A and B are shown apart, each in its own frame.
Chain A
Amino acid sequence: MFLALIQKQIKLLLRSPSELLILLAMPIGLILILSFALGSIMNGDLEITNVEIALVQHGNEEEEIEAFFQKANDTFPIADELRGQIAGMVPVKLLEEQIMENDELKEFVHITKVNEKDIERTRNNGEFSAIIEIPENFTYDFLTYQFLNGEKPSFSVYLNESKQINSTIVQTLINDFQHQYTLNKVLNENGLLLEGMIVPSPEITSTINTIQSKGEITSKIYYTFSMAVMFILFTAGTIASQAFLEKDSHIFDRMILARIRPITYLFSIIISTVIFAMVQMLILFTFSYFAFNITFNQLGLYLLLTFFLAIVVGGIAAVLSSLNYRNNSASASNVFSNAFVSIFALLGGSFFNISSIAPGMAKIGLLTPNGAALDGYLKLTQQASFSDLLPNLTNLSILMIILIVLAFLLFPKRGGIA
């Protein structure tokens, strides 16, 4: 009986071409489009004119570093060798190094230091793909932020819209850079760097190096996962809409008359969603595997993460179904598919890496099912271990429990037939 409910649901989905189009064809199309629009950066198979970046630095870096040492001295003494290390960590240097160390990039990315006075002219003459403007005290703020928990500093980037591909490259660079920059901060907060500062040891440096030298997240990888975690959400909306059709057409009455308990029915919605969502993910990943050669080392962890995500999506489908039954309309699932999926996708970083624009929002993003999963998948592409994945799995577990409990509480007695 339960099996019949599941079978029915899967059959119905497989027989609605318009739904399949949205759930499978659209993400595949978007993965292709987005990857190729941005993917050429990685392959170099698109003719890219030189990317000229102007760097305008206000203030004096040396003085700022010195000012930081003065301030830090009140809190902890800084050994000489650490001074050297810290001086090597200033952001502008890091950014430069990041570009110059990258074999593919250094061929065509050039950084030109531009004097403060020339900034207006630089902005207008359009020869640069991007202008990076480092404000006064940035280095000081940056170091304070890193080591003494100060305010997070920011710098400005002006992208030249007319050089779209080039400015996309710069954006990616900046994103990567900020990613590391946040990573340093995270290491610091976890006590890793702090330890190293008091007793500086080369091991700490090497920790940082290992992380930095891990595989790059190409746009193919990024969009494969970001689209997958976005479009898996549509599955919840679709299944909840179909569930409402069952009430609307009085098929649900027939189930009640056949002595199917509403709990059983709701449970069947969750299980069929989990099954379909898993299959959907497997299809998308298989596609990327063959189309892009994206490798899935530690397949078990990928499957585990996908399974958790799928259960959360099952929970969403159940909550939406309950709301639909309650309101006697498909409004809940419609609103979810038409609005909430986009908001979740935005917060979760499916459109672009949100942490580069609004780090606060990115934290919220990790609370969305798609954001938590995307972050997990990206970690896995960086060879993360099970324990690295734990925060993501925890978030997903909390979500699934809340959603499933909520769904059963919300489902109206007798399905709200009246």
Chain B
Amino acid sequence: MIEAVNLTKSFKSGVAVDHINFYIEPGEIVGMLGPNGAGKSTTIAMLSTLIPPTEGDVLLHQKSVLKDQNLLRKVLGVVPQEIALYGDLTAKENLFFFGNLYKIPKKQLNERVEIVLEQIGLENETKKLVKHYSGGMKRRLNIGVALLHEPQYLIMDEPTVGIDPQSRNHILETVKKLNEQSNTAIIYTSHYMEEVEYLCNRIYIMDQGRIIASGSKDEIKAILSSENTVVVKVNNNSNAFMNELFNQPILTNIKADEDKINFTIAKGVNFLPNLLSLCERHNVLLKSFQMEEPTLEDVFLHLTGRALRN
């Protein structure tokens, strides 16, 4: 198990990570969600021993790794947010280079390179220089390099940023397979809700250097269990109608986008009759009324009052 205890990083510009507590058990996939600048990458850099924390500790099996970083480095693979590859080397040359850094014996490395190339779906593109790869292919190789030494723990920092849906799906499948087949524990960082919802059992939500919510998917969604999100569509919307809607004390988080109105409302309250009479009075036509299950996006909105991405 890797643990972060009160992990904190201050820069001259301010506190990037603020007393974070975090853990990952062998074999699980943990999601780390947060908007730009939340402190995800800084947390990862500390977790992977690349930068020393200002305060707090990182533990591997209850032992601090701040003094003896190699303890953790041996069992850890990191996929950085940036494409950390040599553009002037081919995929194979990159893999062999980093494999050699890990001192993987030659014969074994030959095998590992073949396996990894297959895992990331680049087995037919090995002779091209990496600078001539598409963005998606670079991302995949960026992941592949971190897999060579078969780490027990893999940290992935936004591995699907800026690539086409096909490559993205491929990466999501790769991650899932890796976890299922090799039992690799994975910390998956993203600001895409769908990815984290799809892959992870446990989720941490970060904002402004702090973890603002954590737990299983259901636990996190239960934060909103006392509320429902309602989406209403109308015709002939008017200011008078909206004003009256805003004055309804039982509605919260009201947002209107032309004829589409969102709000949250306590569970068990039946607002439909009130809405209908309201519409009638203002001569507004109600086209649809829909109660929605909360998403992680809603949770984030609820917790911070801001959307995750803009």
Taking Cβ atoms with an 8 Å cutoff, the residues of A that contact B are 1, 3-5, 7-8, 11-12, 15-16, 249-251, 253-260, 414, 417-418
Q: Does B70 contact A (CB under 8 A)?
A: yes
Residues of B within 8 A of A3 (CB): 100
Q: Is B103 an interface residue (CB 8 A)?
A: yes
26 cross-chain CB contacts under 8 A: A1-B103, A4-B101, A5-B101, A7-B97, A11-B89, A12-B86, A12-B89, A15-B129, A16-B88, A249-B82, A250-B82, A251-B85, A253-B50, A253-B84, A254-B78, A254-B80, A255-B101, A256-B73, A257-B48, A257-B76, A258-B102, A259-B70, A260-B101, A414-B50, A417-B45, A417-B50
Distance of A36 Cα from B89 Cα, bound (Å)? 40
The chain A residue with its CB closest to the CB of B74 is: A259
A8-B86 CB under 8 A given contacts A258-B98, A414-B51? yes
Interface pair A257/B51, CB less than 8 Å apart = no
Known: A12-B88, A12-B89. A254 touches B82 (CB 8 A): no
Q: Which one of B51, B73, B97 lies within 8 Å of A4 (CB-CB)?
A: B97
Q: Tell me, yes or no, whether B83 is within 8 Å of chain A by CB.
A: yes
Beta-carbon contact of B84 and A254 below 8 Å? yes
Docked pose: A254 CA to B73 CA in angstroms: 10
Q: In the bound complex, how far is the Cα of B142 from the Cα of A251, in angstroms?
A: 10
The residue on B at minimum CB distance from A248 is: B82
Residues on A with beta carbons closer than 8 Å to the beta carbon of B195:
none
Q: Is B145 an interface residue (CB 8 A)?
A: yes
Chain A nearest CB: distance from B138 CB in Å? 11
Query: Once bound together, how far apart are the Cα atoms of A16 and B101, in whole Å?
Result: 23
Collect the chain A residues with CB atoms within 8 Å of residue B80's CB: 250, 253-254
Q: Tell me the bound Cα distance from A149 to B78 in angstroms.
A: 70
B88 touches A257 (CB 8 A): no
Q: Which residues of A contact B102 (CB under 8 A)?
A: 258
Partner of A257, one of B78, B89, B100: B78
Interface centre among B49, B70, B84 (most CB of A within 10 A): B84
- Known contacts A1-B101, A258-B98, A249 near B89 by CB under 8 Å: no
Q: Are B45 and A249 in contact (CB under 8 A)?
A: no
4 extra A-B contacts, CB within 8 A, seeds A11-B88, A418-B11: A16-B88, A253-B78, A258-B101, A417-B51
The answer on a CB contact under 8 Å between B83 and A249 is: yes
Inter-chain residue pair count (beta carbon < 8 A)? 68
Q: Is there an interface contact between A8 and B89, defined as CB atoms closer than 8 Å?
A: yes
Q: Mark B7-48, 1 if CB is under 8 A from A, else 0.
A: 000010000000000000000000000000000000001001
Q: Tell me the complex Cα distance, A259–B70, Å.
A: 7
Binding site for A on B (CB under 8 A): 11, 45, 48-52, 70, 73-74, 76, 78, 80, 82-86, 88-89, 93, 96-98, 100-103, 129, 145, 149
Complex CA distance for A227 and B80, rounded to whole angstroms: 43
* Closest CB pairs A-B (n = 7): A4-B100, A258-B101, A250-B84, A15-B88, A250-B80, A250-B82, A251-B84
Residues from chain B with Cβ under 8 Å of A4 in the complex: 96-97, 100-101
Contacts of A250 in B (CB 8 A): 80, 82, 84
Point out the residues of chain A lying under 8 angstroms from B73, CB to CB. 256-259
Q: How many Å from the CB of A6 to the closest CB on chain B?
A: 11
CA distance A351 to B88 in the complex (A): 35
Question: Quick one: closest A residue to B129, CB to CB?
Answer: A15
Chain B residues whose C-beta falls within 8 Å of the C-beta of A257 in the assembled complex: 48-50, 73, 76, 78
> How far apart are A108's CB and chain B's nearest CB, in angstroms?
54
Complex Cα gap A5–B98 (Å): 9
Please state if B103 and A249 are interface contacts (CB–CB under 8 Å).
Answer: no
B129 cross-chain contacts in A, Cβ below 8 A: 15
Kindly name the residue among A3, A254, A259 whose own CB sees the greatest number of chain B CB atoms within 10 A.
A254
- Complex contacts, B103 vs chain A, CB 8 Å: 1
- Which of chain B's residues has its CB closest to A16's CB? B88
Chain A residues near B149: list those with CB within 8 A. 258
Give Cα A255–Cα B84 distance, bound, in whole angstroms: 10
Which single residue of chain A is at the shortest CB-CB distance from B45?
Answer: A417
Please give, as numbers and ranges, the residues of chain B lying within 8 Å of A417 by CB-CB distance. 45, 50-51
Q: Could you tell me the distance in whole angstroms from the C-beta of A250 to the nearest C-beta in chain B? A: 4
In the assembly, what is the distance between CA of A16 and CA of B89, in Å?
11
Q: Which residues of B contact A7 (CB under 8 A)?
A: 97
What's the nearest-Cβ distance from chain B to residue A198, in Å? 68
Smallest Cβ distance from B44 to chain A, in angstroms? Answer: 10
Closest chain A residue to B11, Cβ basis: A418
CB distance from B230 to the nearest CB of A (A): 45
- Distance from A124 Cβ to chain B, minimum over Cβ atoms (Å): 61
Shortest B195–chain A CB gap in Å is 22
